Amino acid sequence: MQANQANVEYWFRLFYNCIRGACYGTADASQFSALLAHIWLWIVVVGYVLAVVALVAIIYILIRLFELRKREDEYYGTLLLAPDADGGGNQRWLHIEALASSTNSNDWRTAIIEADILLDDMLSRQGYSGESIGEKLKSVETADFNTLSDAWEAHKVRNQIAHEGSAFNLSDSLARRTLAHYEAVFREFELI
């Protein structure tokens, strides 16, 4: 018996024989095996039922999740603006127009940079992601954005202003054309 104590197979064989009825005598062995088979059958049936219930629950949850995402897209997909107290339009755009009407080229530069910041805010609210405006514009589908070329043209001028600074020769006509591009984009999305 000493050699069998470390033998794992010996202990498994004893356990198996006990389950098969060696522990209870030969008369109860078949009844015990039948009981174990019956219990195992119920375990399998309950397992299948639980699996079907879980599958139905997963499908229901996925359907509800897609419905929720659709409602969120409808709600958050539109750009909501705070109402103006004086009813005169978007205050940020009015400030940009005031800067653009100046005779000072530095005000024109500021107006273009402010309009680009407004474009960035608008793109973020529309759900476009990226670290820069250029990345956000690249992710835009042309079917969803009719004035995409206007946004690119205006953003290119803003980049020239940002990179070249006061060395960039910003004429009155270029400033007005650039702000007209921004205005077209903002009108498409009813920002102004």
At 144-188, the pLDDT tens digits run: 788 888 889 999 999 998 888 778 888 888 989 999 999 998 888
CA 90 to CA 37: how far, in whole Å? Answer: 77
Going from N- to C-terminal start, the domains of the chain cover 8-76, 91-188
The alpha carbon of residue 146 and the mean position of all alpha carbons in its chain are separated, in whole angstroms, by: 24
Task: Determine the Cα–Cα distance for residues 80 and 85; give it in Å rounded to an integer.
Answer: 15
Q: How many CB atoms lie within 10 A of CB 109?
A: 20
Per-residue confidence (pLDDT) for residue 56, from 0 to 100: 97
Residue 141, Cβ density class (10 Å: 0-12 exposed, 13-18 middle, ≥19 buried): exposed
Residue 85, pLDDT score? 47
pLDDT of residue 189: 83
**What's the angle, vertex CA 98, arms to CA 93 and CA 104, rounded to 5?**
130
Residue 147 CA to residue 154 CA, distance in Å, equals 11
Confidence of residue 112 (pLDDT cuts 50, 70, 90): very high
Structure confidence at residue 79 (pLDDT): 53
Stronger pLDDT, 101 or 8, i.e. the higher one: 101
Other beta carbons less than 10 A from residue 130's beta carbon: 15
Cβ atoms 10, 3 nearer than 8 A: no
Residue pLDDT, tens place only, 54-75: 999 999 999 999 999 988 887 7
pLDDT per residue as tens digits for the range 70-111: 888 877 765 555 544 444 557 888 889 988 888 888 888 999
| pLDDT of residue 37 exceeding 60 | yes
Indicate the pTM of the whole model.
0.53
